[in-house]
Structure 1
Amino acid sequence: MNKCVYASILVLLVIGCKETQVRQSDFVPFKKPVTLSTTTEAVEKKPWEYEISPKKEVVEERKEGIPDKFVYPEERKKPEPSLHKPEYTGDKIDVALNFDNAEIKDVLQVILGEILNVNYILDRRVGGTINLHATGQVYKEELLSMLNTLLYVYDFAIIKDGDLYRVLPKAESRQEANIVISGDKIPPWSKDIIIQIVPLQYENPKNLNATIKPFMTGIGNIVTHGDSPYIILIETASNMEKLLTLVKTFDVPFFAGKAVKFYDFKYVDARNMAKDLAAIAQSMGGKVGGEGEFNFVPFSDTNKMLIATRVPELLPKIDLWIKNVDVPPSELEEELKIYVYKVQHQKAETIVPVLTQIYNEKMAAQPKPLGKKQLEAMKIVADSKTNTIVVKALPSDYRGIKAIIEAIDATPQQVFIEVLILEVDLKSNLDYGTEWSLKMGSTKLFGLGDLQRTAETPAISFAKGNFEILMDILATNSNTKILSAPHILVRDEQPANIQVGSEVPILSSSGQQTGTTVTFEQVQYRDTGIILTVTPHIGENDFVTLEIKQEVSNAEETTTGVSNSPTFSTRKAGTSLVIKSGHTISLGGIIEQKNEKRISKIPLLGDIPFLGNLFKSTSIANKRTELIMLITPYIANDAEEADSLTNAFQKKLKEIEPLITQRVNEVQKY
């Protein structure tokens, strides 16, 4: 018997527990969406990384508890209850005021001095005539407000200072206001001028300035302080309620009154869907983006899309649009089709090998499905003449192929490279070269300021641009010549070649035709001078890795005994370094020594044959020069930036021309 009783109680407890459970439909908690990963550590994606996943024909249903739609209320806050109807205290008094063209001073004496019996001070600028007619019973405070309102018309105001009332010009009354209220509480109704400090939660104070100013009286003013989230209102207490109502109307969060909904797509690409929905909305007169009615934000990694709208009632219509587009492909659509993709920035023949490695299984012969016709193999071909990729594939497969092509064929970044090639005469403190002088601590040698060496390479980096450095050099050293100032715009990861010099002919072979006396010679040409190859690699945070190859070669008279063939002296240097966009790297250390023949003679006498040697002297001067290259890379993200950098470069060249001419003239004097 006891066992039966216990069993009955247990059953009732279980039933009771079930009845008290909260149903999922009654309470939907807000949870953060969870992303499942096969790795145990989160992988941070770089801006240049892409993830392209195959499309899933079957998408899991959304888990309960994760809402896909949010509707935010208007959140238009109202100020506290108005005190617009003043509650005057005391007894009413009988008044009968009839003033026609009366002096303001006389009217003030009657009302303030005789009726209200208060102490007051008149500013010496208070004057003029006034008209006032009022009869009946009024409170003393009400009569004072009536007088203040009338004085506003004549550009005067009454300011209460303790038990003293001051009458002064209205323009100065706000500086004399001594009632300060902090917060958004509406003050009691009166004609007193008050200062109210109103805190803002969402809106920028500067934006509210233009909105509120038109609703202020002539005595009012609004003050903002930098980025501080406060506005200071100077106004009569009677008009402050209207201003505070305006502030609360516009001081709302950016998402107030908007609806946001997430969409999962099974069969279409979220990015394409965003473009199509934007086109549909615009065709119906809607505005997309910014302050428009719609904002479509696709997420390519998860193939989802967020739609934000200022009109929540439009979401059901958007649901209908998507429902008619995101449908499974029909059997006809799953037949092989031919697609042609025009490659914009890369070469088609370099992209196709990547695609063939990814889709090599589908490009092989396909087995025949049971009960269906034989499927052809996928084909991907590059046409180098038109730089296009021709794809024969299923529509579902082509979506993935297109995504890969778009990721590879993205608009490449470019680097604008400025180069200044200088030749410096090594004299006095430069006898051992500029690099040696910098090593020994002479960092103020050219007025360059602080320098920083780059590891053990013959390179020194400057925070200045190369033109600023050049101006410093020319201003402190007249033994500097500009050999060349080339500039070039090059794509990221591509080499840029700069050559300043000439092609020298070399006799490669000679001979005589058989049976004749005709001789022939074969000549080859070799590049000489300054040859610079720079390959940029753009990194993050505006840093650029530069691979630099530098060659300086000269053709000299042969010393090998081979006639008609010059001897080449070649000096090469190579380095790889990292520098920030807009900073300058200096490459030096290539020193050349020349023996110059100098002749000094007496004019006219030194030119006499044979006897002229008596009036002239010949000397051999040892001249040592160092070649310095200043290289400055600038990252150009688009064509406008490239044009801007080019124009700035040309402007700088014009700026240094007068200084170069001045230095040349100074050298020629000596």
Structure 2
Amino acid sequence: MYEWQNMNSKKSKRASFLGSVRMFGGRGVAPLSLAFLAAACSQDLVRGSHSDETAAPPPGLFGPAQNRTDRGTDMSTAEIAGINDQQDERALPPKTAEIYKGHSRFTAVTKTGQGSVDERDGAYTLNFSNADIRSVVDAVLGDALGLPYLVDNAVTGTITARSARALPEDKVIAALEDVLAINGAALVVRDGVYHVLPLQATTGMAPLLSGQKARQDGFGIHVIPIQFASADEMQVTLEPFLTPGRGLQADTERNLLLFRGPGGEAADIVSMVELFDVDWMAGMSFALLPLSHADVGDVLVEMEAIFAQDGETPGPTHGVIRFLPIQRMNALLAISEQPVYLENARQWTERLDRGGGSDGQRQLYVYHLKNARASEVGEVLGELFDVRTVGDSNSSSTGLAPGRDSGSFSGFSGSDGSDGGGLGSRDTGSAGGLGGLATSNRNASSNNRRSNDRTGQSAAFGQEGGNGPRLIADERNDAMLVLATAQEYRMIEQTLKRLDITPLQVLIEATIAEVTLDDELNHGLRWFFEAGGGNRQDISFSDVNTGAVAPSFPGFSYFFESGDARVALNALSAITDVTVVSSPQLMVLDNKTARLQVGDQVPVPVQQSVSTQDPDAPIVNSIQFQDTGVILEVTPHVNASGLVVLEVSQEVSDVVPTTSSGIDAPTIQQRAINSSVAVQTGETIALGGLIRDRASDVNTGVPILMNIPWLGNLFKSKSTTNERTELLVLLTPQVVRDSSEAREVTQELRRRMKGFKRLQERFGVTDDQVAPSQKDGSNAP
């Protein structure tokens, strides 16, 4: 029996089958709810609704900079490489790991609190029991909804359905489609007419519909575009959730899905696509892990074993991280959904990046020196690794160094932190390792190796046989370019770090004085000090058993423990005249030569020529200029204990007329000292013993009368004066190890200059009387 009632019109109708579609009139607004009960199905089906809004995916790998972490630091930095003080890193792989973090979200984010059940109240209820399918279609589409419809003759069967509560109009058609599907039928809408057909007959009748989240009535082919994900992968993901008899195809060229089924199921498929169709690249995290020493192929196998990426029994981390070798950069690309795994991969890569590559391939390394000069370090490395200079601008030959046979460098036998093994014999033409260098003809190699001057050129050092490492000293940038294997470079790098140290400086305070020898000093300064002159207990000879001084003959040297040259000068000035010839202060690098010259260049004729054919030809003189005055050259060598070895060359020369011959040329009187002395920093060494006798005739008498011929001798007297002087050189070296000590030395000199200023004010010397260089302070340090 069929019953349809409209509560407002109070009309009723009875039929021969049992069932009802009841419509309730309300307050003008019908809430929605859907539930139906099918006799052939024991489970309740609930259609969930999904939000139309999904969160926009965050920027991806190539998005804004905030999604990418800064480069790894020590490093550096390096800088794997600097790779941005900033040099161009496009030609070389980065020196440090680069990690790009994604947002790790791989499903669309829906609004919180969104329910999956439609809670609207409706105006229709379904209540059928063993009703004929045609009668149900007529009751729902015709009587209840008033829609035009056609029922295929092949559609047969009975339906039992009951809704728990009233349904809205759009949910009634959805419920009808569900009960038709149970009986192998489908509802197809064509040109506004609802066709009820067997499921097999819908192949040619199903219209083409656009895939959208809003429900569309009827059976059809729904086109669902995909934005980010792959259509193939999306098809594999959704197929397990399809109702039997539904079709889902992937169009890979257009990256879309084709779903054949009712509109309600199509809406569910669209919701699932929106849930999984997210930007995977934005969610994934990437790490570029450069390798400096090991081969990328070897490290790849080890990393996959650590993270259980292969093998018969994969571990718990299988699939969470993937590694891609980049041979061009000798680097690993790690990919993971979780950034924390990338940090673990970076740490393990650094631990495994040891040892040379399996094929011993050479790479280019650049080591920037911080303190030392590239040319000097290159010379040392050339000696150490037994290589030759092949790129010197002063050398026109690219052959082997003199005295050397062709050989090869077979490798490094020592391990990290050790001295390595010994070298093979030079006669065999090979070398075994780094431990000891071949010594045959070492002096010849050292003497024939040339270094570039400071012109920005580069010197290259390469192994004689061409099989060893190659070194280039880039003087312009103070860098060492090393072409070597990873194993070779590790040992070269350790050597570079030990050589690249802050150079020491030495402040040398020199006092050059001329002491008049008279009375107590008639026998010279050495006799005076040996006899205890001045009662100084802190003055002693330095050429005793200590062997600290090795003066050249003639001369002597003294050692002053007080470290102040004024002690000796005060002792001498109390008994004789002391004239300070010069008192310079020089700052010089360790093992470098400082030269001070105060004096004139005197022209000295060295050659005369005259034409023998022309009697009136002039005489042509060849002139050579000779340095005179005070000339001081000092080369300090500082030992680790603070002992300073000084190579001293001191010369004091005077120009006098020539009396020993008729040559029209000046006579240069010289007093020179060449010595090597050793003294502790801050202490004073004295060099002396250069005595000069000067005799002069002095005529005294009555003016005018003393000049009368013959009779003038009666009015004048003649006396001869002998003057003996000795040259004394006092040297005080002060080792300056760092910038703080250099500032202290500068402050001390400034304090002395302030003392000079106070002395100037005390004696009333005005600024106009001060030399311009002193007035403007240009000579102050």
Tell me: higher relative CO, structure 1 or 2? Use CA pairs within 8 A at least 6 residues apart: 1
- TM norm structure 2: 0.38
- TM norm structure 1: 0.43
**Larger relative helix fraction:** 1
